[in-house]
Amino acid sequence: MSKYKNPWLLLLLLVTGVVIGSLIGTSLGNVLPLLSYGPGPLGLRNLEVNLGVIYFHVTMLIEINVASLVGLLLAVLIFNRL
């Protein structure tokens, strides 16, 4: 077995871990308020690119909370175990 690990697999695991963690944090946030604690949305707000013919308006935000960070750490641990 080679030691080379696919970076696309890492990206897939990270995104999956953050999404599942965030879903758990928002759904169980009323029962355990610690899981939904976080700084709020982080990312790019109102990125505008005007190329004359094409106009882009992009907003990309990530809602980080404690549960999504736990999911992120679990994804990294699972990737290291593979």
End-to-end CA separation in angstroms for the chain: 11
- CA 21 to chain centroid, in Å, comes to 9
The verdict on residue 67 lying in a domain is: yes
> Hey, which residues does 8 pair with through a beta bridge?
none
The verdict on residue 1 lying in a domain is: no
Instruction: State the amino acid at position 6 in one-letter form.
Output: N
The verdict on residue 70 lying in a domain is: yes
The kind and range of the H/E element at 44 are: strand 40-50
Going by pLDDT thresholds of 50, 70 and 90, the confidence category of residue 54 is very high
**23: its two tokens:** 């879903």
Going by pLDDT thresholds of 50, 70 and 90, the confidence category of residue 72 is very high
Total count of residues recorded for the chain: 82
**32: its two tokens:** 């355990």
Phi, psi of 67 (to 5 degrees): -65, -35
The 8-class DSSP code of residue 33 comes to T
Provide the domain limits for residue 49: 7-81
Query: What is the domain count for the chain?
Result: 1
Q: Once rounded to an integer, what is the mean pLDDT over residues 16-32?
A: 90
